[in-house]
């Protein structure tokens, strides 16, 4: 992964402005209306020099940006037909408004992968990249897969849970030990030996595709993970999130 800037837009009640996100695979950075923001996730972007001045128009909750819409494009490698292709992941995130109890209204995340003339969309209102990218992976043609940390053989989430983006633990320096993990306790025993946290859409030279089943699927299991069978769709209509839509 090159770490090239991701072009996008920021929108709130004050209007829209073009922005760029930069990342090193762990931290996100952007500048909006002259104010620098930084964080580990898109729902945890904090102003670098403290709260902006009155009248700047930003809404913060616990110091993080909220009550706005972010859009951006991420270049993502996709393996297909014996080679790695460059695809584009278009992302839209609506960050909720602060609530009276101090919490923030629900976030809405939508991802669309543009690859080889088709658009593969996640279900609307996903809550995190893991689930959204899982929906997309299931739609890709046979043999094609996202060549990114989310589908790497050496990544896993903490058993207690993870956030929306960027909380994927990397075990590339303990590959052999991680291959033997198949329970929560196994992962806890190895946790402190992780190489750090990475973003789901990042990739490095140590990438190896995660097994589809059996040994080596770690605690979180294969990618895409299995989920309960959804209710059947009406006759003649495809189930949601099962096929890429051709685009011109």
Q: Write the pLDDT tens digit of every residue in 58-116.
A: 999 889 999 999 999 999 999 999 999 999 999 999 998 887 776 677 789 999 999 99
Question: What confidence score (pLDDT) does residue 161 get?
Answer: 81
Q: Is the pLDDT of residue 203 over 60?
A: yes
Q: Could you give the CA distance from residue 142 to residue 139 in angstroms, rounded to a whole number?
A: 9
Residue 245 banded pLDDT, cuts 50, 70, 90: very low
For residue 188, whether the previous peptide bond is cis, meaning omega lies within 30 degrees of 0, is no
Helix (H) or strand (E) holding 47: strand 46-47
Neighbour-count burial of 116, counting CB atoms closer than 10 A to its CB (0-12 exposed, 13-18 middle, 19+ buried): middle
Residue 111's CB: how many other CB atoms inside 10 A? Answer: 23
244 pLDDT above the threshold of 70: no
**In Å, what is the CA distance from 206 to each residue of 82, 152, 210, 218?**
18, 9, 12, 17
- Lowest-confidence segment of 20-34, 186-200, 216-230 by average pLDDT: 216-230
Confidence (pLDDT) at 243: 40
């Amino acid at each position: 992964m090159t770490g090239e800037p991701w072009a996008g837009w920021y929108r709130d009640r004050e209007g829209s402005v073009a922005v760029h996100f930069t990342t090193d695979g762990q931290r996100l950075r952007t500048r909006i209306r002259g104010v620098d923001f930084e964080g580990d996730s898109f729902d945890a972007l904090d102003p670098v020099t403290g709260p902006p001045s009155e009248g700047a128009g930003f809404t913060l909750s616990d110091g993080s940006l909220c009550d706005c819409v972010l859009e951006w494009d991420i270049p993502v490698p996709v393996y297909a037909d014996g080679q790695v292709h460059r695809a584009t992941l278009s992302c839209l995130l609506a960050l909720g408004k602060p609530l009276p109890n101090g919490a923030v209204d629900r976030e809405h995340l939508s991802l669309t992968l543009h690859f080889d003339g088709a658009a593969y969309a996640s279900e609307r209102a996903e809550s995190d990249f893991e689930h959204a990218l899982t929906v997309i992976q299931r739609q890709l043609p046979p043999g094609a897969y996202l060549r990114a940390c989310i589908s790497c053989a050496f990544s896993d989430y903490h058993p207690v849970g993870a956030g929306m983006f960027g909380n994927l633990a990397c075990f590339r320096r303990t590959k052999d030990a991680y291959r033997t993990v198949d329970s929560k306790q196994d992962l806890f025993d190895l946790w402190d030996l992780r190489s750090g946290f990475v973003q789901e859409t990042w990739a490095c030279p140590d990438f190896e595709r995660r097994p589809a089943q059996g040994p080596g699927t770690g605690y979180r299991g294969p990618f895409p993970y299995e989920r309960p069978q959804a209710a059947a769709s009406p006759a003649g209509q495809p189930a949601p999130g099962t096929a890429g839509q051709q685009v011109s």
